[in-house]
Amino acid sequence: MRTPAEVWSYLRANIRKEWRTAFWTVFFLGLLIHFPVMAGDFPNHDGLASMYFDQNMITSGRWFLMVACGFSSYFALPWVIGVFSLFFLGIGAAALIEFLEIRYEPGVVLLSGFLVSFPALASTYAYIFTADGYMLALCLVFFSVAFTKRWEWGFLPGGICLAFSMGTYQSYLSFAILLSVYGCLMILLGESSVERKLKNILHYLYMGLIGVGLYYVILQILLKIQGKELDTYQGISGMASGGGLSLAEKLRNIYQDFLAFTGKGNVLYNNMISFAAFGLLMAAALVMLIRLVIRRGYYKKWYVYLILLFAALVMPPAFNVILLISPGVTYHLLMRYQWCLFPILTLAFLMRYGFLQTELSGQFSPFHRRDAKALKKPSVICNILLQWAVLVFSVILILHYGVTDNIAYSNLQKKYEKTYAYCLRLADRMEQTDGYYTGMPVAMIGVQNKENLPETDITGAVTSNMIGMSGDYLVYTDTNYQAFMRHYLGITINLVQDEEMERIYETKEYQELNSFPQEDSMRVVDGVLYIKTE
């Protein structure tokens, strides 16, 4: 057994420089970009009901979420949760860098920058009460593929990591699939024997089967122990059946969704500058691929075309694997974090096969200036210019994503403040209503009448697909009002039961009310305060 000092010395000696770079890039850049939401307290509609939540989501298939979120307690503590989430994501970034074999330090910074700036992370922070658990799940996914690649039997710990990741948040399964596909392609482009290539490719399959199988077995055991069943929310209960759609129907939906979100999702790019940077980065990768195929003579081998075709066809289902498992799911941005792999894998491919390489690989980098004769060659000059272009495009995209995140956070703060003002006016009107007393039964629907309220959200062009970030107000239902007034105004609203509300909704007294904030939008009837906001 080693002493703490010996363990510390061992870690210092064996932690690679690029791992440290990845971790600290994620941590410090994450603080710079996401500080507004971490330092503030701006809940979204779901967060209102999760000021304290034990994260027991076994009925949603998330049997490990309770443990994953337990490090930061079950209270909604934005700063604590934010720091934990960046810590987990930083460790995961180091594992991702190791899997991708990135040794070029500026490249490590760029890849980590894409990971921590992508707008899907901002949407995750809109649900801050569960962000640390989700980032631990993503960290485990990165370790699952890194273990599988690194060791002969690495698919065993890799499968375990995948199972616990899915037990925290199933949507990150797409990361495991996409990275495994990328790993298989790199194996095929390598120089090892056919037998070794096949064996290494099968390791990713073993990891996936072990992970999914172990996840499902543990889920069924825990459901039996707790005497519960899977919920119908988001089609979770239909995971095994696939939602009743045929495979052809599911694939059609998957391809349509993939093309629609990638092309018009307003996330990968949402203005001309980001579109140009993203497009040029993709174009550079395509040029590099063509160059690689020609230089290595792959164009003479018929099976290479089949491999590329297969990779292109399998990509949409890999991105949208949740739609394959649960076609009825509402597929929002939290579940699309894997789209950040577009720029990440593109940049990794460029660094591996041509651009941005270090002196160790025999290639030229923008900072390598030793061979004066070689620098005069047109091909070398073009290569260096392309390298600089890729660096610039990547920095532009990362900056764009960071700005997008802060636009969303700005609107989230304004939503909170407008909701605070709205509910304060509502509470004041309640207290001025004849017959009102604290704690009396309240009958309300909660849907706001938009005609009586000005539209002030100017971020729609940016935040339209960022769930929890767009719009003007946080409250949509009667329970939203109840939670907001309780936690932020210190006011108690005792809502009538849903069955009673259905009856009241049809009454003449309720129908005759005007919509708040007009006069006569509230009335006490038979000891119940009727409030009409819709």
Higher pLDDT, 309 or 370: 309
Query: pLDDT grade, residue 362 (50/70/90)?
Result: very low
User: Tokens at residue 88, please?
Assistant: 């987990």
CA-based nearest residue to 44, from 332, 428, 336: 332
Tell me: the pLDDT tens digits for 131-161? Answer: 999 999 999 999 999 999 999 899 999 999 9
Tell me, what's the pLDDT at 364?
41
Instruction: Return d(Cα 111, Cα 343) in angstroms, integer.
Output: 8
Which residue type does 360 have? L
Could you read off the pLDDT of 284-340 as tens digits, one per residue?
888 888 887 787 777 777 777 888 888 888 888 888 888 887 777 778 888 899 999
Residue 353, pLDDT score: 73
Q: Give pLDDT, residue 388.
A: 83
Confidence band of 178 (pLDDT split at 50, 70, 90): very high
Task: Report which of 129, 133, 116 is spatially closest to residue 44, judged by C-alpha positions.
Answer: 129
Q: Is the dihedral of CA 220, 225, 230, 233 positive or negative?
A: negative
pLDDT value, residue 498: 87
Render 388-447 in DSSP notation, one character per residue.
HHHHHHHHHHHHHHHHHHHHHHHHHHHHHHHHHHHHHHHHHHHHHSTT--TT-EEEE---
Range 252-268 average pLDDT: 86
Name beta bridge partners: 443: 530
Q: Is the pLDDT of residue 479 over 80?
A: yes
pLDDT of 236 reads: 55
More confident residue, 456 or 137: 137
* Distance (Å) of CA 97 to CA 112, 209, 342: 8, 24, 15
pTM: predicted TM-score of the whole model, two decimal places: 0.89
Kindly state the percentage of the chain with pLDDT values over 90: 39
Q: Is residue 233 pLDDT above 70, yes or no?
A: no
Provide the angle, in degrees to the nearest 10, between the axes of the packed helices 302-319 and 247-264: 80
